[in-house]
Structure 1
C-alpha cells in the first residue's frame, strides 16, 4: 500500500522519475517509525506415512496416462476456494506501539461465497464459477465468462458439479469432442458421489482423487497457483482501495473490482509448473522427475522491524496467508 500510494502522490504532484523501490520504502518506514504488524503462522510437517499414499497416487496417474495417452490440454485440476467480497489484510502499516489498528475496507468482508477455479496442464485457465450463499439467483447482471450457482450454505453440491461439468469442463478446448481426459480432485463429498462419477464417465473423464491430507502436495492449484492468485488479488485490491473516489451502492458500500482481472493475472507458465511439481504432467520418460523435489520456499517477517529483509518487500503489496478468507466480485 505504501508503494502504491507513493506512486499516486508522485503523479498528483507532477514528480518526474520517481522510483518507488524496496530500498526507498524501507528508508521511508524507518524514518517514519513504521513497522509491519502481523500474526504468526505455524508450519505443519507432512507425516512420513503419507509418502506411500503419494507414491500410489503418482502410480495411478502414470498408469492412466500410459493407457489413455491424455493430451496435456486434457489433464485438469479443479478446486473450491472460500472467499469474501472484500480482501482486507490482517496486516497494515502503523506507528510502533499503536494499540488500535484500523484497516480500510469496503464493507463486504463478512459476506462469504465460494470460487471454483480450474485449469489444465498446458496452462489453460478455465472460466471461474461462483457459488453464492443464497436460495435464489442474484438479480444483478452476471459477468461474461463467469458461471454462477447458488446453495443455501454457499458450498459445492451434486447439482453444482453437474453445472460445472456442463458449463466449464465440457467446454474446455477438446471437451466438445469428448477427448479422453484426466481430472485431479480432492475428496470433497460432492466430487465423488455416484451421480458425479457417472456424469464424468459420460464425458470420458477419468478421476484422480487426491488422498486425504495431501492436497498441499498433490493439488496443482494449492501447490503453485493459489499463492500467486492471492497475491495478484491482493495487489488489485490494494491499488483499487488506494485510488479512492469509488462509486457506492444504494446502501453506501463501495463497489468492487471484477473477478476476471485477477483470474487473468496468473501466468500460464505457473500453471504448467504446478502440474509438474505435483507429478501429474511430467514426461513419462522420467527426465522431469526432479521437479517433484523443488523447494517452493517460505518466508517470515518480524512484528517490530520495518522489514525482515530489505531485499524482499513483497509483503507490502500482498498477504498470502492461507488461513484468511480472500475475495473479490
Structure 2
C-alpha cells in the first residue's frame, strides 16, 4: 500500500506570485502555471492583504485563536491588573493561576494542562515578554586555578586525615536580603521603556540570613539578623534563630551565637564528632575567639579564598538562588493578597519581622535534600 501523499506547503512569497499572475491573467491560468488548484488561488487572493504582512518565508497564517477563550481572557486580565498595580508577574505565577482557574471552571477548560507551548502562544497572543535588569557578576582572581587547586588540596587532606561523615561536613554562608524582594523579571507588554514594579518603599532596607547545610542533605535552622539595637517584642515562628545587630550583619558575637545555637545543635552536633565547616573569609570567621570556639566543639574550618565563593561554596553555587526565588515568590503573594498596614500618610509598611521569618523558613524548607547534596559534589567537597 502506497503511503499517503504529504500535504504541500507554500511560502507567502510563492502565494503572492500566484496572486499577481492571477490578477494579470485569470485564476485557471495561474493554477495551471504554478501547479496548484484553483481553490488555492481563490483563497490566496482573498487573503492577499494578510499575505503581504507576513514574513515572505512563512507558510502558515496562524490566527492565534485560543483553545480555551474564557481561561485565556481571565489570565490576561490577571496579568494586566497586576502589572497596572506594579506587582511582579512571573511565568510560574501565570501557570499556577491558569491551573487554579481551570480547576474552578472545568466547563471552560476541558483537558487544560498549562503546558509550555500554551504559555508561549499565550505570550504571543497578548504581546507579552519577560523583562530583566542587568546583573554584575563576581570578579574572579587572576590566579584562579592555583587558588581553587590549593583549596581542594586542603579539603582532600582534611577528609583523608579525619574521615568526616557526610553529616559532619557543613557549609555556612551569609546572604543579604531586602525587605522589598522585587524580582528581576516580570511579564509585561512589549515596547514600553519604563517598567513599574510596586514596592512598599523599603527596597533599600535589608537584613541578613545565615544559611547552613551538610553534605548528607540536611538543612540547618536559618539564622536571621535584623538591623536593630534591641530584640523586637514579637513571637517569632519556630524554625529559625533570630538575632539583632546595629548594622544588620554578621559580627564576632553573631558567629558565636550561630555556632552555639545552630551548628552545635544540628543532628549529631551534641556528640561533637570531628567535623568540617566550609565558609568564606568574613572577618568574624577568622578571629582568634572564633578559632578557639571551633576547636572547643571539635570543628575544623576550611576557609574559601577571596573571590572563589561563586565556584567552591555549595550555597553560592546551587542553593542561594532557589532559596531567594522561593522567598521572592512569597513576597509577591504577600504584596497581592497579604495582610498589610499603612502609615497615617497612607504609605504601605514593610512586612512585619515575623512575616519575613515565615518567608525565610518556608523557602528554606521547600528545598529538597537532593538539591542540597548536589552542590557539595559539584564543588568537590
2:99 aligns to what? 7
1:271 aligns with 2:372: yes
Range with greater deviation from structure 2 (32-41 or 9-18): 9-18
- Return 5+ residue gaps in structure 1 as ranges: 281-329
Distance 1:166 1:269, change over 3 A: same
1:147 aligns with 2:277: no
- RMSD of aligned alpha carbons: 2.2
Q: Deviations over 1:72-129 (max 9, x none)?
A: 1001010000001232113222222223322233554332100000000111100000
Range with greater deviation from structure 2 (2-11 or 42-51): 42-51
1:47: Cα distance to partner? 5.0
* Structure with higher helix content: 2
1:250: Cα distance to partner? 5.7
Distance 1:139 1:71, change over 3 A: same
Bigger Rg, which one: 2
Q: Deviations over 1:128-149 (max 9, x none)?
A: 0001011111111111121111
Q: Deviations over 1:235-294 (max 9, x none)?
A: 4444x258x4422236454755532111011111121111111111xxxxxxxxxxxxxx
2:313 aligns to what? 219
Distance 1:231 1:171, change over 3 A: same
Contact 1:127 1:146 in 2 (8 A): yes
2:176 aligns to what? 82
Contact 1:232 1:266 in 2 (8 A): no
1:9: Cα distance to partner? 3.6
1:189 aligns with 2:317: no
1:59 aligns to what? 153
Which of 340, 361, 365 matches 1:248? 340
Q: Give, in whole Å, the separation in 2 of the partners of 1:110 and 1:4.
A: 30
Q: Give, in whole Å, the separation in 2 of the partners of 1:106 and 1:12.
A: 32
1:258 aligns to what? 359
1:37 aligns with 2:131: yes
Report the count of equivalent residues.
278
**SS of residue in 2 equivalent to 1:171:** coil
Contact 1:247 1:254 in 2 (8 A): no
Range with greater deviation from structure 2 (213-222 or 90-99): 90-99
Q: Give, in whole Å, the separation in 1 of the partners of 2:247 and 2:153.
A: 36
Contact 2:212 2:221 in 1 (8 A): yes
1:93 aligns with 2:187: yes
1:50 aligns to what? 144
Distance 1:199 1:45, change over 3 A: closer
Q: Give, in whole Å, the separation in 2 of the partners of 1:59 and 1:169.
A: 25
2:223 aligns to what? 129
**SS of residue in 2 equivalent to 1:201:** helix
Question: Per chain length, whose mean CA-contact separation is higher, i.e. which structure has more relative contact order (CA < 8 Å, sep 6+)?
Answer: 1
1:180: Cα distance to partner? 0.5
Q: Give, in whole Å, the separation in 1 of the partners of 2:136 and 2:205.
A: 27
Contact 2:331 2:359 in 1 (8 A): no
Q: Tell me the TM-score normalized by structure 1.
A: 0.78
- Return 5+ residue gaps in structure 2 as ranges: 1-92
2:82 aligns to what? none
